[in-house]
Amino acid sequence: MAQVMRAAVLPEPGKPLIIKEVAVPEPGPTQMLIKVLYASVNHRDVWIQKGLYPGIRRGVILGSDCVGIVEKVGSEVDSAWVGKKVIVNPGLEWGPSREVQSPSFHILGNPTDGTFAEYVVVPAENVYQPPLHLSDEEAAVLPLAGVTAYRALFYRGRPQQGNTILITGIGGGVALMALKMATTITDKIIVTSSSLQKIDRALELGATDGYLYTHDDWHKKIIQKWGGVDVVIDGASGPNIPQIIDILNPGGRLVIYGQTAGKIPQLSTAKVFWRHLNILGSTMGSPSDFEEMLELWNAHKLKPVIDRLYSLDEINEAFEWMDNAKQFGKIIIKI
Amino acid sequence: MAQVMRAAVLPEPGKPLIIKEVAVPEPGPTQMLIKVLYASVNHRDVWIQKGLYPGIRRGVILGSDCVGIVEKVGSEVDSAWVGKKVIVNPGLEWGPSREVQSPSFHILGNPTDGTFAEYVVVPAENVYQPPLHLSDEEAAVLPLAGVTAYRALFYRGRPQQGNTILITGIGGGVALMALKMATTITDKIIVTSSSLQKIDRALELGATDGYLYTHDDWHKKIIQKWGGVDVVIDGASGPNIPQIIDILNPGGRLVIYGQTAGKIPQLSTAKVFWRHLNILGSTMGSPSDFEEMLELWNAHKLKPVIDRLYSLDEINEAFEWMDNAKQFGKIIIKI
């Protein structure tokens, strides 16, 4: 095999990625070397590229998701894996507790070199068979957004069969993964967006109802039509949180996995304690979350929502597309 | 028995209570008539008296807590109860779900007539034997503050053995109940107050460490000494919530049961999702919470903290004392 490979390298935070030749990495005893077929872009990649993330390593190869072929395994890894098609859990060293990650937890693609390259080295324990009903392109988009959405929705949100679930900011990778997975447990899925077009597409994909959160009375309309909601999956935080608390049913769970809309404004907690509400933070996911996520996609033959495909050479265009929030679904990088 | 009784009646919201003679109520088929020996005052009583509560009934007899003797039972109730000393769960019609109260849930003492009277009628299912190791005065203060603290600490906060627990605003009834109960599961209990004297008394009662939340760096001191905290029991909400979120350990649980310090200021959620934090509302408690609370007090022979005793005639003085936040522990009313 080759000694060098093409990779998308971040020269320094804030600068565009550079495609250049670097040495093919060597797997350690418990690792695998994977020949990447497809990768996909996450918001995390864009934030790192822009310098909006802690602990950025200059010269890092970004990218958390991939589907690939095992090229070579370390001395302690079963050689039967060689030649197999695999998907990778990008969460490294989560640790023993499902509840929280260990201090050494990190994600493939910074500071470790990631998947926007012809080859990537990963721990053997992070490698799984991709769902058989998915194409390589489709499977490549699952890992980070899929595990984040699975944990937020099922491990943290704990919806009951038939619950009313609200997913805010539909169009993003995690929100659409949550939508797909929510269809396995309820037929009452409400979405919000700032775009009618995105709401219409979500309705085609299994959402039951949708609202423009840019309209002042969106939450009142939800109360009028649905009474209230049981579980909310939100990656925005920001000014809409008080309205979300207003529409939560008693005992309801608001799971927050991001802050794209900024801080929460001044907040009364009276409804939070009277209604025994739960405001729950969630990020990424544990190995168990990843495994259960794969099982769910297999069991229900779920298909992810794909926005578009770029080549590795077009990776900066792909980042720009995501940064402008124009995408609806996941962006694939063909390596 | 007498046809009339002395009772503390609220003529209208905002007015002082009036002690007057009213008819002794008659128990319905599934109810009991209880001769009240001791009652105790809760913040709820004061808020109702001041008109700061929804659904106040003019002429209501306030009071949620009591110890008394069963005087008479309804036709469907076992007459063996007559003459027994009892304690009353003041939560009426909680409903079938432990997670949340039913829409018909209400608390003894408004709109139903309460315990600041010589007699009170309650549902037979709300009546229990008081803990044998407690005097009548001590048992009388348990119900509402005890069930609120039990649910907040154990059902919502779910501390593990040896966890670090922070109880804010020590001195109030619920906070001191939580302190007493927390000693059964950990020896790392931190309290906060605006009064050094209250902190000192809490340290005598089993708290491990205490801080003045009126000092700007109270939360930094807790991080320096304790690393962080696992469970927070807070009845204040208000401006200290961001500091509380700062000191929560990963996976930590902030249980909020009140809003005496007002709204939460603008809040970043980054720590909430990175650390998988839980912000959990809690109020009152279910029948299961009440029963488990009694079991815990029995098993550990816990003693409540008593502030002082007033007669029924002094009830407005008792309310004023509580309203000025001068008390440390529960205020008893001798009927």
For helices B173-182 and B143-150, angle between their N-to-C axes, nearest 10 degrees: 60
Closest CA to B188 of B168, B163, B211: B163
Contacts of B295 (CB under 8 A, 6+ apart): none
- The answer, yes or no, to whether residue A2 has pLDDT greater than 90, is no
> Between β-strands B31-41 and B65-73, what pairing exists: parallel, antiparallel or unpaired?
antiparallel
Region A301-322 average pLDDT: 96
Question: Domain segments of chain B: what residues?
Answer: 4-142+304-334, 147-281
Alpha helices in A15-88 (DSSP H): 43-50
Q: Which helix (H) or strand (E) holds B49?
A: helix B43-50
Contact criterion met (CB < 8 Å) for A250 and B276: no
| pLDDT band, very low/low/confident/very high, at A53 (cuts 50, 70, 90) | confident
State whether residue B231 sits within 8 Å of chain A by CB.
no
Q: What is the DSSP code (8-state) at residue B51?
A: T
B267-287, pLDDT tens digit by residue? 999 999 999 999 999 999 999
Chain A residues inside the 8 Å CB shell of B265: 266
Q: What is the ipTM of this complex?
A: 0.94
Is B270 in the A-facing interface, judged by CB distances under 8 Å?
yes
Instruction: Please report the beta strands in chain A, taking only residues with DSSP state E, as ranges in sequence order.
Output: 4-9, 18-23, 31-41, 65-73, 85-88, 91-92, 106-107, 119-123, 127-128, 164-167, 188-193, 209-212, 229-234, 248-256, 278-281, 306-311, 330-334
In words, the CATH class of domain A4-142+304-334 is: alpha beta
Nearest CA in chain A to B276: A281
Cβ neighbours of A216 (radius 10 Å):
8
Q: From the CA of A217, how many Å to the nearest CA of chain B?
A: 22
Flag whether pLDDT at A197 surpasses 90. Answer: yes
SS3 call for A277: coil
Q: Following CA atoms B47, B52, B54, B55 in sequence, which dihedral angle do they give, to the nearest 10 degrees?
A: 70
Judge whether B109 and B144 are in contact, CB under 8 Å: no
**pLDDT value, residue B1:** 67
Query: pLDDT per residue over A162-184, tens digit each?
Result: 999 999 999 889 999 999 999 99
Report the CATH fold assignment for A147-281. Answer: Rossmann fold (3.40.50)
Q: Do A237 and B269 touch (CB under 8 A)?
A: yes
What integer best gives the mean pLDDT of chain A? 96
Q: Distance between CA atoms of A264 and B285, rounded to whole angstroms?
A: 29
* B18-23/B248-256 β-pairing: unpaired
Residue A107 main-chain phi, psi, to 5 deg = -115, 135
Q: What is the largest CA-CA distance in chain A?
A: 64
CA–CA gap between residue A259 and residue B139 (Å, rounded):
47
Tokens of A303: 């298909």
What does the pLDDT read at residue B5?
98
Q: How many inter-chain contacts (A to B, CB under 8 Å) are there?
A: 106
Three-state secondary-structure class, residue A254: strand
Contacts of residue B288, defined as CB under 8 A and 6 or more positions apart, other chains included, come to B98
B124-146: average pLDDT:
97
Do B4-142+304-334 and B147-281 fold alike per CATH? yes
In sequence order, the 6+-apart residues with CB closer than 8 A to the CB of A144 are: A42, A44, A64, A65, A90, A107, A284
Q: Under an 8 A CB cutoff, do A282 and B273 touch? A: yes
List chain B residues with CB under 8 Å of A258: 273
Residue-by-residue DSSP string for A208-232: SEEEETTSTTHHHHHHHHHS-EEEE
- Kindly state the DSSP code that residue B280 receives in the 8-state scheme: E
- Residue position matching structure tokens 């009364």: A268
User: B2 falls in which pLDDT band (50, 70, 90)?
Assistant: confident
With CA atoms as reference, the chain A residue closest to B263 would be A268
Q: Which of B155, B230, B269, B283 would you mutate first to test chain A, the one with the most A CBs within 10 A?
A: B269
DSSP 3-state of A299? helix
Share of chain A above pLDDT 70, in %: 100
The pLDDT value given to residue A326? 82
pLDDT at A1 over 70: no
In chain B, the residue whose alpha carbon lies closest to the alpha carbon of A263 is B268
- Cα distance from A255 to chain B (closest Cα, Å)? 9
Q: Is the predicted pLDDT of residue A216 greater than 90, yes or no?
A: no
| Contact A269/B at CB under 8 A | yes
- CB atoms < 10 A from the CB of B215, how many? 12
Q: Do A281 and B277 touch (CB under 8 A)?
A: yes
Segment B73-90 mean pLDDT: 98
By the 10 Å C-beta count (0-12 exposed, 13-18 middle, 19+ buried), B14 is classed as: exposed
Please answer whether residues B311 and B8 qualify as being in contact, where contact means their C-beta atoms are separated by less than 8 angstroms. Answer: no
- Decide if pLDDT at B31 tops 80: yes
Torsion of CA B178, B181, B184, B190, to 10 degrees: 20
